[in-house]
Amino acid sequence: MAGFPTVVRAQPAPAVAGDFASANPRASVLAGPGALVAGSAGVTVGRFAWIDPATYTLVANTGAGLPAGFVAREQQALITIFLAETSNLVPQGYPVTLYNEGDFWVRNGNATAEAVPNQKAFVNYADGTIYFAAAGATPTSAAVVTASVAASTGSFTGSIADNVMTITVVGSGVVRPGGTLSGTNVVTGTTVQSQISGTAGGVGTYYVTPRDQTVASTTISETYGTMTVSAVTSGTIGVGDVLSGSGVATGTKVTALITGTGGTGTYAVSDNTVVTSTTVTAAGGIETKWYSASTAAPGELVKMTSWPQG
């Protein structure tokens, strides 16, 4: 939502972030009954977003891997702050449409570099903001650290109904998002997605994937990795970052903060492969299929398209 005008300009602004940039065809992400809706933090218009894999319903501007789609501006944001004049936030529980094809206006999130036509769009895992760079470039949000990974385990008494795991007793360890579960009738490859209620990391309920499971109360084991960061060369580590380095299993992601908050400390990671101290790169974003279709200085609006030129 735009604020009350306070200045007069010779030329109107070309758009607002999230606006459609053309009358070309566009395609929305398919969703089931009651989906998609903004998650607990709301959803910001004009950014990429991810769908919660446990519910297939909740949408957030944070995630890992390729985003599900782009949040276009359709007058769905609400002003909820007293005396505020503008808002681009869709509140929790409100419907959200994600687009995976089309032409849109977005803000160039690169702090120093100009966006030029036919560059690739990169998205930051932490907030869904977008910047543009050459295809194959290393995400600017990458952190370089010295770290090691140790195998960690937990044992609990619990049950699973559909995609909700209920833990009644903690035998050892802590329930960590991203950890792999095993036990009688637990589907191979089941992972913890997020906690719903209860004591943090302990007795309570959790979303898991895949769904459609029925597991009676039994002993459930969890395995995950604990990464210890001893030094930071550059950048900041965040949940969702994809790790790479000597001995690090392909696709390993940071799934939770333990004692670290972006620098030195410990972090839960999705793979429990043991890694001795080495240089680890934590990529905080990913290259998408989208392209820039105009020029824009840092912070300015730029046209983004799902179709390459030529």
Question: Each residue of 141-189: pLDDT tens digit?
Answer: 779 999 999 999 999 999 999 999 999 999 999 999 999 999 999 999 9
Same-domain status, 93 and 220: no
Are residue 131 and residue 188 in the same domain, yes or no? Answer: no
What does the pLDDT average to over 203-223? Answer: 96
**Is the domain of 4 the same as that of 101?**
yes
d(CA 161, CA 91): 29
Q: Are 149 and 273 in contact (CB under 8 A)?
A: yes
Instruction: State the amino acid at position 106 in one-letter form.
Output: V
Q: Quote the pLDDT of residue 4.
A: 63
Q: For the CA atoms of the chain, what is the radius of gyration?
A: 21
Tell whether the model's pLDDT for residue 1 goes beyond 60: no
* Residues 185 and 240 grouped into a single domain: yes
Same domain, 120 and 245: no
pLDDT tens digit sequence for 77-113:
888 888 878 889 999 999 999 999 999 999 999 888 8
**pLDDT-based confidence at 2, cuts 50/70/90?**
low
155 and 122 belong to one structural domain: no
Nearest alpha carbon to residue 280 among 150, 152, 149: 149
Q: What is the pLDDT of residues 252-276, one digit of tens each?
A: 999 999 999 999 999 999 999 999 9
Residue 285 has pLDDT above 70, yes or no: yes
**Residue 235 domain boundaries:** 142-283
Does 48 have pLDDT greater than 90? yes
Residue 163 and residue 272 in one domain: yes
Per the CB < 8 A criterion, the answer to whether 228 and 221 are in contact is no
By the 10 Å C-beta count (0-12 exposed, 13-18 middle, 19+ buried), 32 is classed as: exposed
- Please check whether residues 120 and 78 belong to one and the same domain: yes
Q: What is the pLDDT of residue 3?
A: 59
pLDDT of residue 234: 92
- Are 86 and 23 found together in one domain? yes
Q: Give the model's pLDDT for residue 7.
A: 72
pTM over 0.95: no
3-state SS string for 56-67: CCEEECCCCCCC
Same domain, 166 and 279: yes
Of the listed ranges 47-61, 78-92, 236-250, the one predicted with least confidence: 78-92
Round to whole Å and give the CA distance between 111 and 289: 21
User: Residue 141: left if φ>0, alpha if ψ -120 to 50, beta else—which one?
Assistant: alpha
Q: Which helix (H) or strand (E) holds 103?
A: strand 103-107
- Output the six-digit token pair for 113: 């570099």
Comparing C-alpha atoms, which of 280, 251, 248, 283 is closest to residue 264? Answer: 280
> Is the domain of 153 the same as that of 221?
yes
Question: Chain-wide mean pLDDT for the chain?
Answer: 92
- What is the reported pLDDT for 64? 85
Residue 106 and residue 169 in one domain:
no
Mean pLDDT to the nearest integer, 125-144: 89
- Report how many domains make up the chain: 2
Q: Mention every residue, 6+ apart, whose C-beta is less than 8 A from residue 278.
A: 146, 147, 148, 245, 246, 247, 248
- pLDDT score recorded for residue 67: 96
How confident is the model at residue 30, as a pLDDT?
Answer: 93
Strand partners, 253: 242
Q: Which residues pair with 278 in a beta bridge?
A: 147
What's residue 257's pLDDT? 92
